Amino acid sequence: MTATGKSRIARCNVEVDQSGKIERTQVDTVLAFSDGQGRAIRIPAAVKQRALHFLRRKPQHSRNKKAMYIRLFTAGLYLLLKEHLNLLDNIIIDIEYTGGEADINGVLLPLIWRSNPQYASTRIVFRQIGKRSPAHILAWTVHRGRRPADHVVTEEEFLALL
């Protein structure tokens, strides 16, 4: 955000990537989007651990690890994108969970539609983006501590989405 409250991200197509897999609960996860401009959020390991504990207490998630990790990943995606949805023409998400694309959309779209009911599901695409992607480079750079995250996710905001 700029001093005037306007987003510094121009209308664009963005790629999204993560560094530090969400299921690796001993390390922080960084989610980033970029098309030359970008944003990155850090999800601390402790926040992920508490979120998994929270989900394990829910009967519908207690036995399905993949569903829990997809839920965490999707909550992180939403936190990364939510302030910029009106500016992002298309969102290209790196395939992190092969075969889980429909599950991710099934969680992500209702979150988006809470604040943006007209958001078209066709604007979200899944494909391999590769290590040369600006999103991958940004996520990796933040994960390695060479650049600060734009936002560090709190336990409260993460759990509110689960």
Q: What is the pLDDT of residue 63?
A: 74
Residue 149 corresponds to which tokens in the numbers above?
């995250």
Give the total residue count for the chain: 162
Distance (Å, whole) CA 91 – CA 88: 7
Task: Provide the pLDDT confidence category of residue 8 given band limits of 50, 70 and 90.
Answer: low
CATH number of the domain located at residue range(s) 12-160 in this protein: 3.30.420
Residue 3 corresponds to which tokens in the numbers above?
């001093």
Q: What is the pLDDT of residue 75?
A: 98
Residue 9 makes CB contacts below 8 A (sequence gap 6+) with 37, 38, 39, 84, 87, 88
Higher pLDDT, 66 or 61: 66
Task: Provide the pLDDT confidence category of residue 1 given band limits of 50, 70 and 90.
Answer: very low
**Domain ranges across the chain:** 12-160
Task: Provide the pLDDT confidence category of residue 9 given band limits of 50, 70 and 90.
Answer: low
Its pTM stands at 0.90
If you write DSSP's letter for every residue of the chain in order, what string do you get? --TTS--SPPSEEEEEEEES-TT-TTS-EEEEEESSSEEEEEE-HHHHHHHHHHHHTSTTTTT-HHHHHHHHHHHHHHHHHGGGGGGEEEEEE--SSTT-HHHHHHHHHHHHHHH-TT--GGGEEE----TTSHHHHHHHHHHTTSS--SEE--HHHHHHT-
User: Per-residue pLDDT tens for 33-53?
Assistant: 997 679 999 999 999 999 999
Check if the beta carbon of residue 123 is closer than 8 Å to that of residue 91.
yes
Q: What is the pLDDT of residue 111?
A: 97
